[in-house]
Copies of this chain bind each other. A is one copy, B any other.
Amino acid sequence: MSATIDLGTIEPGGERTERRDAAANRALILETAETLFNERGVENVCMADIAQAAGVGKGTLYRRFANKAELALALMDTQMREFQEAMLSRMRQQSEQGLSKLEQLDQFLDALIYFVDRHNPLLCVVQNEGLLESVGEQERQRPHFWQHMTVSGLLNAAIDEGELPPDLDTIYVADALLATLNASLFRFQREGRHFSLERISAGLRRLAAGLK
């Protein structure tokens, strides 16, 4: 009766447990992709290459990952969760220490900048496929979604604390602040404009500071 529901990598209820060979292939594909990406750079590896290097058919590859963006997202998954949890625990701690919500926002944005920088190539791939598609598609937006929750949450909390005026459009502002960290723009700022991380961080925090 009660099937042992294994949560796998995706938590929403109702997921069936993955067959053993499928799980093995998923791991194999991820390893292979990571290796190839490191060897040749993300943009110089195509899906067929990955399938061949992993010794599986293209059908198998696409059954697991609908495209390169999903694959890239899966590769970042662990580090994203770690980052996410680190931020949450840090913010909890900071709240206890009485740090203001706006200062917490500052630090969150700063940390996010370093994260975006480190993972820029993968993020470029992820975002290329991103928001564009049918609006309902939430899977690939997961990173943005979480980031948006965090930023708008901090903004709302700041309003509650009287640090920001209550009429602020926090949903919009969160969008705007995060738009700044779009991977392609970020790359252009880093490589084309030769901005340092410090400059980007200072600029963004300045923008946030203007809200009060």
Chain B residues lying within 8 Å of A131, measured Cβ to Cβ, are 184-185, 187-188, 192
Chain B residues lying within 8 Å of A180, measured Cβ to Cβ, are 175-176, 179
Bound complex: CA A187 to CA B171 (Å): 15
Q: Are A199 and B182 in contact (CB under 8 A)?
A: no
Q: What's the dominant secondary structure at chain A's contact region? A: helix
Q: Are B128 and A173 in contact (CB under 8 A)?
A: no
Binds B, one of A52-60, A63-71, A200-208: A200-208
Interface residues of A in 1-60 (CB under 8 A from B): none
Chain B residues lying within 8 Å of A210, measured Cβ to Cβ, are 207, 209-212
How many A residues face the partner with a CB closer than 8 A? 36
Q: Are B172 and A195 in contact (CB under 8 A)?
A: yes
Q: Are B207 and A176 in contact (CB under 8 A)?
A: yes
Contact of A203 among B128, B176, B185, B202 (CB under 8 A): B176
Tell me the A residues contacting B by CB distance below 8 Å: 124, 128, 130-132, 135, 168-169, 171-173, 175-176, 179-180, 182, 184-185, 187-189, 191-193, 195, 199-200, 202-204, 206-207, 209-212
Interface CB pairs A-B, < 8 A, 5: A169-B206, A173-B206, A175-B189, A176-B176, A176-B204
